[in-house]
Amino acid sequence: EVQLVESGGGLVQPGGSLRLSCAASGFTFSSYSMNWVRQAPGKGLEWVSYISSSSSTIYYADSVKGRFTISRDNAKNSLYLQMNSLRAEDTAVYYCARAGITGTPVDYWGQGTLVTVSS
């Protein structure tokens, strides 16, 4: 069974930093590309970032480019999102999401971790 478990969310002041983690299990993590997708309270879904299986290809949404950094450690079956210069509009539930082998951008999602940016 595919499992994705996010952690690291919490309350942070504007301008602060936070590092999210996602622990993957139930599949060969090193073979799959991964994404972060977020959802502001009561709002829709917004794709944030993508990383290929070998970390050779990385993409970001314009809204986070230059502030967020996606990374992974295949030896630890883990995905990360380093978030710097946080803004109120970054407040959201952040989901770790697997990309399917056959080209599906997102097939499985974690349960999410809430990031609140507020003074």
Contact criterion met (CB below 8 Å) for 100 and 115 = no
33 binds other proteins (CB under 8 A): no
Helix (H, G, I), strand (E, B) or coil at 38: strand
- Taking CB under 8 A as the criterion, the residue among 21, 23, 46, 78 binding other proteins is 46
Query: What whole-number distance in Å separates Cα of residue 103 and Cα of residue 75?
Result: 24
Query: What whole-number distance in Å separates Cα of residue 106 and Cα of residue 35?
Result: 8
Nearest to 84 by CA among 10, 14, 9, 17: 17
107 binds other proteins (CB under 8 A): yes
Count of residues near other proteins by CB under 8 A: 21
The CB-of-109 to other proteins minimum distance in angstroms stands at: 4
The CB-of-92 to other proteins minimum distance in angstroms stands at: 13
Contact residues toward other proteins (CB under 8 A) are: 35, 44-47, 50, 59, 61-62, 95, 100, 103-112
